[in-house]
Structure 1
């Protein structure tokens, strides 16, 4: 599992510029808030469309490691295209290249996600998943914490096309290093891990998704999370735009505010991992999402860039708990041989609402302004969290989830 940990560190380093500074780069190329919302929505639609083929291919072939390695490496090579782009195109053509890059990366990432989840479930024993992924996420957040303000400071000094070229080339180098570490992870035996060899003949089908649709507990989880994610994406893509255009943040302050999230996430990861193992992912998910409800309201009352540092410190810890809980809940709820199908259903619905959210958010911002949309986002998050509390806390835990939690509690009593 050591190579898996190093893969996470370098992968985070390679994705920092893309995830934390994508909006700033799009603004640099000349895109406005409406176009940024469309880019985000279309990319999420591509993600939703590629998840089911990825799940079907993973279940049909069982070659989880090969699928993940090929898709993630290809997505990281896109950074080299962005690094070379200023030598060939600019203006509207550059925005078009960025749009294609975003679509390609979204498609490849979602195609690989069912295989990645299945491989993670087979690689990391259930009894230590919370603590292991907390430790892995701690390392990732630490990398983001260091790199994000450095990137912001670098852009403040060399924010032209050449500066962005250096950042994209560095992202490619870090990402490809992550691929090298991932290639060293032993591939679990398909027969030993799943009880049978995967079928390798016949066409790909929607059978994995159809089987997942029969699980009513999963549907409740997916439905409430979809409403929550829709509410998040009404405002999420526009926070950075608001930070730059309305709060007057420089690239340096964009980096500082973005670094606050991985700082608090890194500090809270060990605590979140223990909570996921001892109290279960259901309770942790509801508690974390309850904290996330308030975040857009804090943006409403913020009037200086440094105010967002405090907002992101709270948000980083809350999102760390929510992501840990939802990931562990999905792994614990799905039958081992059907994890790709369960992942596909979850990812497809999440990406479908993240397609609709930015489009609706962009229209609402044009009609009512940023702060009104932030308030609407908070109301939707509150409603979704209430549904999660009713659905998840009111139903019985899966046997595997309950036994793992009780075993850890017993071990803790004996320590």
Structure 2
């Protein structure tokens, strides 16, 4: 699921991303949600939403991630739209009762309004990380810093009232009084902040902090790269999908823990609908198109199946992006797209196929030019194929196109040109190819055509 806004020049200005696995995890564990904020280049900010409560069956920190978002800015309106996208993606949002946030989260009222039934509370993870970083910046003596950090570690793993008071006293005694306000040591004695964390055992607390640190550091590092927002969300999605996790993680679709009981049938039905839609598109390509045309389009469809598609609506066209350069599909007949593949071959490209897949539709004969349809007039088809070959040969080189793809286009066109012609024309064209091959490689070498 992807929601986005376009800015100046038609570039992506904001995006909210969530996979089916993320949605499944949140549906199982919606009661406690942690919101992590990471600053990036060019003033952009990444918001990571993670399940924060007990989550039996989850292995690895990335399994806790349920939503990624980059708002247009951090105004109240932009953040409200971001939280609104999260709610739209997750019907279980109304079950959330606790929201954990870091110090200084912008526009807290926007978050509280989006989740009126939840309590917004300071995150112990963010509190301890902030305290650790500030202690390290104080440039204390080595033994003093090690003593404070060791006490902080004990507090993290066993958040008893005694350990928190000990940590509070240690900071008060070892840090200069004028530096104490920036450490916010009063938070150590706030029982409400520590209430949820106190219920964790030593091992649970250790795993929880380790998982959150690995996840937040990894995603922040990916986000800090100087990339366009389109490339950035692609890199974040790749990092999420490829981060090593235990085979028993709830993100593993083969694991029984991957789907909650309450939504198991719903997700199964959705997968079956997707499978039938994809099979219908493949069958319609085989039924309507000539074999070379079907082969080319199936290659395009394979890209659609393995990617995320962003589909935005306009008055007269759909903006389709298969996480690459955006192209526009004509809504009238779904037969025209601005991409190179469709412009040259006049065949359904990955962008048109993405629309068909999204709308649960199949290919129709009127979406194809006549020479690509089965049973069309052979002579006319041959002439049209020749025109297609000329279009490729006359088109300017585009470095973004893979060389092997261009070669495959030429091979397909030549094959089609030889297929849709009379026997006399075939003999003439074959002799021409024979001469061309000999001129390239030499008549002394046997060239198999």
* TM above 0.5: no
Bin for the TM-score computed over the shorter chain: under 0.3
Choose between structure 1 and 2 for higher RCO, CA contacts under 8 A separated by at least 6 residues.
1
Q: Which structure has more helix as a fraction of its residues?
A: 1
Q: Which structure has more strand as a fraction of its residues?
A: 2
| TM value normalised by structure 1 | 0.24
